[in-house]
Structures are given as structure tokens and as C-alpha cells.
Structure 1
Amino acid sequence: MRKVYEVVILFLFSLGPVSSMVNWYVQSPKIVFGGHVTLFCNTSTVRNSCKGCPTSWFGGENFKVLSYNGFTASSSKYSLTTAADGFGITIKDFTENDLIYPYKCSYGFHSFVKHLTLDKNYEYQPSKDEIKTKHATYNSMLYVEVHLKKAHPEPNCTAIFNKKDITSELNNSSRQIGLFYSVKLRLNITIKGYSCKGRLQMLCRIGSKNLRVFDNYVSYTCHDVLITTKEMKKYPVILILLPLLLVLLLPCVCCLRVKDMRDNILRQCIQW
């Protein structure tokens, strides 16, 4: 009988807001995609008149039950909190899909529903798969391109080569697609003045975090032939083998010269 009663109450809760004496808000200081976001239902105005009333959250796809009286529909996605003035639900691994639907908190017969929206203070840090890099050299020039597929807010990036700030050489182009920015960083500098080697770093400030989007030690041979990163891996081997080949060939050259001298002496003796 109690289960039937709870189901009836739960059904009534899901019909819509009965009053605005409770309300929920985003308790997290900011929404960070990939992180945890907590919604808090404030029940302070009705707390004394509804002691022991059941609590619940609705939302997500098909506006389903997310929690009821301390139990969640999915512990891997949601967790619950309680306080003297209300109760909360934490959405784990927050994604764009969590923004699509409205959320509703209910306390007894009091409930409040609204869509979860973003203000300007939200962050999206690109994953490793969302950062693409490529680089090469040509005619003593180093070319680097970094593509951040998704980021927010707009990144503020710097470039450092051998501890020298070369941000002025960095070309930054970005465009906003939906909620996020797509950013391309391009760098084209001569490395002849650095003996064609050194450490190149690109750092981007995205919201509250610093992200290292490129960090590579450049060691190229400066000439007019295009050398890619893959090809450069062969050069250390060549540099090791070249002296060995010279050492092996030197005795052969000497022997040939001695043989030539001996043959010349024999020919002269025969002529006499």
C-alpha cells in the first residue's frame, strides 16, 4: 500500500509546479564540461511546514525520475546532497546533452522546474583527441600548426622557443561554432639563428586552466629540403654510421694507393 501511495505522489509531482515556494539554482561556481555540476533545491520557506516530506529530482531525456528520497536512478551519473535549507543533485561528467532538458525538484507537494542554461562563465577544456598538431621545416624555416577543435572561453595563447617569448610571431584565428570556439594557431619562424634546434612550447590559457598544446624539441638540419618530423628520426642514425663508414673505408683507400705506387715502380724497373 505504501508503494502505491509513493507512486501516486511521484506521479503528482511530475505533473508540474504546484507552487514556487521552492526553487533550484546552479550551486557550482561555474559549469565546467567534463566535470561535476550541482543543482540545489532551496526549501527553506517550507521546511518547517513539511518535515519528512519526500524529495525528488526529474529531468534528462523523457523527463524521467533522476532521484527519489535519497536514491538515484543512476549512481554513475548522479549523486545527492542534503543541507538544512534544501537538497541537491550532482550531475557527473557534465556534457552538452545535459543542457538540452529541463530539471525539476520536488519537496512534498511543492516543486519548481526550469531549463538548465549557461551564462558566459563556463569552461570547456579540449581533450587530447581534440588537439591536432603538425610541423615541418623548409629552407631553415619552422612551420607549426595547432588546431583546438573545441574550447571555451576563447583561448589566450603564447609561444616560447628556447625560453624566448615569440608570441608576436604566433597567428591566432578562431571562430565560434555553437557553444564553443574552434581555434587554429600557426607559427612560421626562422630557426637558423638558434642553430636550427631548441625547445618549442605553446601554452594556452582557457578559463581557469593553463593547457600545454605543443611541446617539442626541434633539432633539424637547416637546408632547402623539406624535412618532416618522421624523416628527422633517421638523421641520428646517419650521423652515427657516417664516421664508422669513413673509418672502414680509409684502410681500403690507403691500400689502393700503396698498390698503385708498387705497380708504378715495377713498370719503371721493367723499362730499365
Structure 2
Amino acid sequence: MLTYGYFAVLPFIFCIISTHTSVVWKIQTVPIVIGEDVVIQCIVSVDACRIDHTKQWTGGKGYKLIGLNGHTTNKSKYTMNVYKSTLSFELRVKNFTEADANNEYTCLCGKAHYTAMLMLNTTGHVYIPLDDEIIDNSYFKDNTIHVNLTIMKVHPLPTCYLQYNGLTKKLKAHGNENENGNNTFYELVYDDTTAVHKRCNITWFFNCTFGKKSFRTDYHNLYSCNLDYVPKDKDVKPIYILFVIPVILLLIVVYIVYLKCRNSERKSNVENEESNSLQQIHT
């Protein structure tokens, strides 16, 4: 009985080894960028899968039938490509979301199949925060940019910079730097001050990068010389003084020249009148 049981279980063991060595799926789009398409490829061997065998994808949330022989159950969410030359087939998950992750996916060809869990924390995934997940309450006061930036959801940890008036300053996260239980997202808070002197036009924004991906906030643009504050630098003069003073000096010079010309003209007229009077007397 022991001998019979031993040999009876051998085919089952061989089937498991054969299935897992002849069929396997892997992620083609690495890293996974949440919000973009993700492609999973099923790679099979000739002895395990023939061209006429059924090719199938199952899994995702609820573990349901996704694709069969190049057709999908939800065209707006999935597409399936079958390559006859290589006996491989792919599943494209459109607009990949958190709900698509951390689920099992199975690729099947004939009787050979492979099932694995698609985990975000093993893919080096990227999550670019949405507009409403970036809270920018930064402001300018007393010749200083006061950084108050919160990124509610992001992965991996980005490197963020304050870019202002053609200059760049690297920022360090303060306050919350939390990760959830799956190590899939971070919440970051930036609090900083940067002095800006002798400038009227102030422009700044925040730029964050991780690898080849990046995101940035909207521009802040203001004309600081119109703000009601006293400049810290005594050499900084209101811009209108640079125009008003020269104009006033020019008007004074023009007026002096005008007075001189008028006096000269009067003197000339008086001399002419006296000369005419003398001529009449002599006559």
C-alpha cells in the first residue's frame, strides 16, 4: 500500500512541477504606474501549450473570467493579445487602479496554468498624486516665501524642489511621513521659508521627481512692490521713484531754460526800442 501510494502521488507532483515550469506570467510594464496601463504576459512552452489550445485569463477583483482566446469580458477595462509565433499571450489592464492590485491573476493554456498575486509593494510601483491630493497653501510675506505644502498620497518617496525666480532649492519633508500597512503610499508635509530680496516680480512653484516621472504644482506669480510692507533692505526703493524724480528734474531744467530764453527775448526787445527812439531823436 505504501509503495502504491508513493507511485500514485508521483503524477500529481510531476503535474505541479510541469505546470509551474512550463507556464508563468510576468509584468511587462515595470514599474507599475497607477493610472496608466499595465501589461501581464503569459509565457508558455511548446510541450505545455499548442496553438489550438484555449488561452484564458482569470483574476482581478472578485476573481472572474477576464479574457478568452483574444476576447475580453470588459473591453473598456481589458484587452487580450495572443501571439501564435511565440505561443505567448498578454493581458492589458487599462487605467490600472488600487482595486486591480493585490489580487490573484491566472493565465491558462490548455490544462497548464499559473496563478500568482500581483502585489504593489513588490513592483516598485509609482503613484503620481492627483490635483486634489496636493494641498499648496504657500504664500509670500515680508520678502519671504513661506512653504506650506502637503502631498496626501504618493509613491515612492519623491525629491521635491522649490523653484523660484530661476533658482532651485531642495526641500526636506517635515511632519507626517507615514506609510500605510502595505507600504504602498506615503503622506508628506513640507514646511520651509526662503528669503527673496530686491525683487518685485516673484514666481515660484514646486517640482517633485522620482526616476523618470515627475509632477509639479501650479505657478505662484505676484508683483511684490504693490504689497503693503516695508522693505528690509534700505537700498530697495519703490520703483515709481526711479521714474518720478528724473521727470521732475527734467521739468525743472526745461522751465529754467524757458525763463532764460524769455528774459533774453525781453532784453533784446528793450534794446531795439531804445535804438529806435535814438534814431528818431537824431532825425
Q: Give the alignment's TM-score, normalised by structure 1.
A: 0.68
CA shift, 1:120, in A, is 5.2
In the alignment, is residue 129 of structure 1 matched against residue 132 of structure 2? yes
Q: Which one has a larger percent strand, Structure 1 or Structure 2?
A: 1
SS of alignment partner, residue 51 of structure 1: coil
The match for 2:117 is 115
Deviation per residue, 1:134-170 (Å, 9 max, x gap): 1334444332312111111111011122112333xx4
Greater alpha carbon shift after TM alignment, 126-135 vs 213-222: 213-222
CA distance in 2, matches of 1:186, 1:82: 52
Which residue in the other structure is 2:65 paired with?
65
Residue 102 of structure 1: SS of its match in structure 2? strand
How do 1:195-206 residues align onto structure 2 when only pairs under 5 Å count? 195-206=199-210
Partner of 1:217, secondary structure, is strand
**Share of identical aligned residues, percent?**
24
Please say if 1:31 is aligned against 2:32: yes
Alignment of 1:12-91 (within 5 A): 19-20=19-20, 21-46=22-47, 50-83=50-83, 84-91=86-93
Structure 1 CA distance for aligned equivalents of residues 123 and 102 of structure 2: 17
Report the AA paired with residue 29 of structure 1.
Answer: V
Shift of 1:203: 1.0
- CA drift of 1:182 comes to 1.0
TM-score of the two chains, using structure 2 as the length reference: 0.66
| Mapped pair 1:219 → 2:220 | no
Output the CA distance in 1 between the equivalents of 2:220 and 2:211: 24
Q: Secondary structure at the match of 1:149?
A: strand
Cα drift, residue 210 of structure 1: 2.5
| Distance (Å, rounded) in 2 between the aligned partners of 1:30 and 1:85 | 25
Shift of the alpha carbon at 1:68? 1.2
2:6 aligned residue: none
Q: Please list the CA deviations of residues 226-249 of structure 1 after superposition, one character each: whole Å capped at 9, or x if unmatched.
A: xxxxxxxxxxxxxxxxxxxxxxxx
Amino acid paired to 1:129: D
Identify the residue that residue 155 of structure 1 maps to in structure 2.
158
Distance 1:68 1:206, change over 3 A: same
Letter in 2 for 1:105: C
Question: Aligned partners of 1:61 and 1:201: how far apart in 2?
Answer: 39
Q: Following the alignment from structure 1 to structure 2, what is the Cα–Cα distance between the partners of residues 139 and 50?
A: 74
In structure 2, the residue matched to 1:261 is none
Point out which structure has higher relative CO (alpha carbons under 8 A, 6+ apart): 1
- In structure 2, the partner of 1:235 is none
Verify the 8 A CA contact 1:153 1:207 in the aligned structure 2: no
Whether contact under 8 Å (1:72, 1:78) holds in the other structure is yes
Contact 2:149 2:189 in 1 (8 A): yes
Q: What is the RMSD computed on CA atoms of the aligned residues?
A: 2.5
The letter for the 2-side match of 1:65 is L
Which structure's CA Rg is the greater one?
Answer: 2
CA distance in 2, matches of 1:121, 1:81: 25
Contact preservation (8 Å) 1:139, 1:222? no
- Letter of the structure 1 residue corresponding to residue 166 of structure 2: K
- Amino acid paired to 1:143: H
1:18 Cα shift?
8.7
Are 1:194 and 2:206 matched, yes or no?
A: no
Question: Aligned residue for 2:105?
Answer: 103
Please give the alpha-carbon distance, in whole angstroms, between the structure 1 residues aligned to 2:212 and 2:229.
42
How far apart are the structure 2 equivalents of 1:120 and 1:53? 31
For these two proteins, the number of residue pairs brought into alignment is: 206
CA offsets per residue over residues 208-259 of structure 1, 9 Å max, x none? 22222242113231527xxxxxxxxxxxxxxxxxxxxxxxxxxxxxxxxxxx
Unpaired runs of 5+ residues, structure 1, are 1-15, 225-272
User: Do the aligned partners of residues 27 and 158 (structure 1) sit closer, same or farther apart at CA in structure 2, a change above 3 Å counting?
Assistant: same
CA contact 1:57–1:106 (8 Å) conserved in 2: yes
Partners of 1:111 and 1:134 in 2: how far apart? Answer: 52
Asked if 1 retains the 8 angstrom alpha-carbon contact of 2:70 and 2:82, the reply is: no
